[in-house]
Amino acid sequence: MSFVRPAELLRTTSFRIALGYSVVFLASITIIGLVVHYIAVNSARTEIRAFSANEVNRLAEVHGRFGISGLVAAAADDAKAPEGVDPLRVLIIDTRGRILTGSLPPLMPRQDGPFELQRKDGELSILGVGKVLSDGTYLAAGQSDAALRRTSNAILNAFLIGGSIAVIVALGGALLTSRGVLGRIRRIDETTRAIVAGDLSARVPDRGTDDELDHLTAGINDMLDRIQALMVDLKRVTTDVAHDLRTPLARLRQKLEEAHESATTVEDYEQLTEASITEVDRLLEIFTALMRIAEIEARARREAFAPFDLSDLATDMAEAYEAVAEESAHTLTADIDKDAKVTGDKALIAQILANLIENAIRHTPDGSTISLAVRRQPGAVLVSVADDGPGIPPDEREDVTKAFHRLDHSRTTAGNGLGLALVKAVATLHEAELRLCDNEPGLRVEIAFEPAVAIET
């Protein structure tokens, strides 16, 4: 992959999306951290007060059993704590206001219930519980929140460090993701520029990861394949049109020259004029067929789609062409299932049935048999026109559906090479499958209307 400048990466949509998700992730971490900190701190404060309350109640029981002396002795024992552990702080004041023992500030308010003492610098607080005993002695016990503050700082530092690492990882991931995505988009851009420059064979390489960009790549390559095929067809059609128009135009010019140079009577002029009109009509037929194919391929006829009975249409076509086949020394048979209903353009389907029957009559020798069949199959309706003539070689069956393509042995017969092209265009419009098969002998053309257009009965 080519080198990508950092400034270009920062402007990419993928980086912005990744950065946005990173911001949301970090905001989530911050909220979680604050909630965890709040719960942990308040839980620790509650535990300190609960511990102090338990000690006050225990010392009150000692006072009730052993008096002031027992209370003072028990308070001195509670004040002892292992190194590194915050000791319990106790304050005992008798009824005359004398401090009997204690490590709490003597000027603290003497109140029943929880209290909180805070140093002036705000660096330390004592959380505790006070109680006035039955003889008027005031007893208070509390513990500093140093451990709580250490826990609070540890939580905040953990989330701060973790958040910083997450920011670095998120930004790095965003840059890597953007670099990879931008590289793949750049390859798409390079491919499109190559095509604009005239290289229609250029294709976008995929990575084989079956992700959304691979799906996009496959769609683009399919589109490019279709465009290349259309361009090849356009070049071929342009050449074929020029070739097929040159002959009737040359004949038309010849007739006009004869009329200009050698016609001397009204009868001569009439004959040459009629011959010229015939050539003009042939040119108009070619242009009309091309315009119809273009109109069908542009799907401009789908508004005419409606349900109709294909069995009735095929029966009418068989009856209409039976006499035409007999005049050409051919036999036309029909084998049609009833109630074969499809949705489509009835006029266009009638046109392709007529094209297929006329092609079979035109390109098979006298005495040949042509069969028209309609079959109702599970999920589809199958229409076929078959003959026992020379058929079409397998390697040319795809080409004969292209405009102006004609087999060598058919160039001496009437026609312009647009019949099967029209059939293919109509089948594609109806999302039906066109198949050219070996009839052994002869050719069998099948059109299968899939469930999208076939109506089950």
Alpha carbons 34 and 217: distance in angstroms, whole number: 45
Q: Is 200 among the domain residues?
A: no
422 & 442 share domain: yes
Question: What is the reported pLDDT for 334?
Answer: 93
84-93, 191-200, 411-420: segment of lowest average pLDDT: 411-420
Q: Which of 391, 276, 370 is nearest to 321 (CA)?
A: 370
The CATH code of the domain that includes 105 is 3.30.450.20
Residue tagged 């024992």 (tokens): 77
- The answer to whether 203 touches 221, Cβ cutoff 8 Å, is yes
Q: What gap in Å lies between CA 187 and CA 195, rounded to an integer?
A: 12
Asked whether the beta carbons of 109 and 55 are under 8 A apart, the reply is no
Residues 17 and 140 in one domain: yes
Residue 66 CA to its chain's centroid (Å): 83
Residue 194 lies inside a defined structural domain of this protein: no
Q: What's the token pair of residue 186? A: 């750049």
* Per-residue pLDDT at 335: 93
Reading phi first (left if > 0) and then psi (alpha if -120 to 50, else beta), residue 102 is in: left
- Token pair for 355: 């094209």
pLDDT at position 329: 92
> From CA 435, how far away is CA 326, in angstroms rounded?
27
Do 324 and 272 sit in the same domain of this protein?
no
For residue 414, pLDDT over 90 is answered with no
- Choose one of 137, 152, 167: the last residue of a domain: 152
Average of pLDDT values for 393-420?
65
440 vs 244, more confident: 440
8 located within any domain: no
Residue 418: which of 253, 293, 332, 236 has the closest Cα? 293
**pLDDT score at 444:** 92
Where residue 412 falls among pLDDT bands split at 50, 70, 90? very low
Q: Do 98 and 225 sit in the same domain of this protein?
A: no
In a domain, 164, yes or no: no
Domain encompassing residue 258: 212-294
Identify whether the C-beta of residue 356 lies closer than 8 Å to the C-beta of residue 385: yes
Place of tokens 């451990």: 147
Give the residue-averaged pLDDT of 330-359. Answer: 90
Last residue of a domain, one of 263, 294, 325: 294
Strands 432-438 and 443-449: antiparallel
Amino acid, res. 3 = F
Region 331-345: mean pLDDT is 90
Domain identity same for 347 and 373? yes
Domain membership of residue 2 (yes or no) is no
Q: Check which CATH number belongs to the domain holding 385 and give it.
A: 3.30.565.10
Share of the chain above pLDDT 90, in %: 12
| Over residues 216-245, mean pLDDT | 76
Q: Are residues 101 and 236 in the same domain?
A: no
Residue 108: pLDDT band (50, 70, 90) is low
The overall longest dimension of the chain from CA atoms, in Å, is: 157
pLDDT of residue 447: 93
**Based on the domain organization, do 285 and 417 belong to the same domain?**
no
Using CA atoms, how far apart are residues 238 and 245, in angstroms rounded to an integer?
A: 11
> Which two structure tokens, joined as six digits, stand for 188?
């798409």
Reported as half-sphere exposure (CB side, CA atoms, 13 A), residue 123 has a value of 1
Task: Work out whether strand 306-309 and strand 138-144 pair parallel, antiparallel, or are unpaired.
Answer: unpaired
The count of structural domains within the chain is: 3
Cα–Cα distance measured from residue 139 to residue 129, given in angstroms and rounded to the nearest whole number: 9
pLDDT digits (tens, 9 = 90+) for 309-326: 999 999 999 999 999 999
- What mean pLDDT comes out for the span 116-129? 75
78/129 same-domain check:
yes
Q: How many CA atoms lie within 13 A of 442 on its CB side?
A: 19
Query: What CATH number should be reported for the domain holding residue 225?
Result: 1.10.287
Percent of the chain at pLDDT > 70 equals 82
pLDDT at 129 over 50: yes
> Residue 415's pLDDT is what?
53
Q: Which residue has the higher pLDDT, 79 or 159?
A: 159
Distance separating alpha carbons of residues 55 and 59, to the nearest angstrom: 6
Co-location of 81 and 102 in the same domain: yes
Asked, for residue 381, whether it belongs to a domain, the answer is yes
Check pLDDT > 80 for residue 352: yes
Q: Are 288 and 309 part of one and the same domain?
A: no
Quick: pLDDT tens for 2-24: 445 666 666 667 677 777 777 88
pLDDT at 457: 41
Residue 433, domain member (yes or no)? yes
* SS3 letters across the chain: CCCCCHHHHHCCHHHHHHHHHHHHHHHHHHHHHHHHHHHHHHHHHHHHHHHHHHHHHHHHHHHHHHHHHHHHHHHHHHHCCCCCCCCCEEEEECCCCCEEEECCCCCCCCCCEEEEEECCCCCCEEEEEEEECCCCCEEEEEEECHHHHHHHHHHHHHHHHHHHHHHHHHHHHHHHHHHHHHHHHHHHHHHHHHHHCCCCCCCCCCCCCCCHHHHHHHHHHHHHHHHHHHHHHHHHHHHHHHHHHHHHHHHHHHHHHHHHHCCCCHHHHHHHHHHHHHHHHHHHHHHHHHHHHHHHHCCCCHHHCEEEEHHHHHHHHHHHHHHHHHHCCCEEEEEECCCCEEEECHHHHHHHHHHHHHHHHHCCCCCCEEEEEEEEECCEEEEEEEECCCCCCHHHCCHHHCCCCCCHHHCCCCCCCCHHHHHHHHHHHCCEEEEEEECCCCEEEEEEECCCCECCC
Those residues whose C-beta lies under 8 Å from the C-beta of residue 438, and which sit 6 or more positions away, are 391, 394, 444
Which of 152, 175, 191 finishes a domain? 152
My answer on whether 240 and 346 are in the same domain is: no
Give a yes or no: residue 342 inside a domain: yes
Which of residues 346 and 258 earns the better pLDDT score?
A: 346
Which residues contact residue 215 at a Cβ distance below 8 angstroms, ignoring those fewer than 6 apart? Answer: none
User: Does residue 418 surpass a pLDDT of 80?
Assistant: no
Mean pLDDT of the chain, nearest integer: 80
Q: Which residue has the higher pLDDT, 406 or 171?
A: 171
Q: Are residues 274 and 335 in the same domain?
A: no
The band of 258, judged by pLDDT with boundaries at 50, 70 and 90, is confident
| Inter-residue contact 309 to 336 (CB < 8 Å) | no
pLDDT in tens, 360-375: 998 889 999 999 999 9
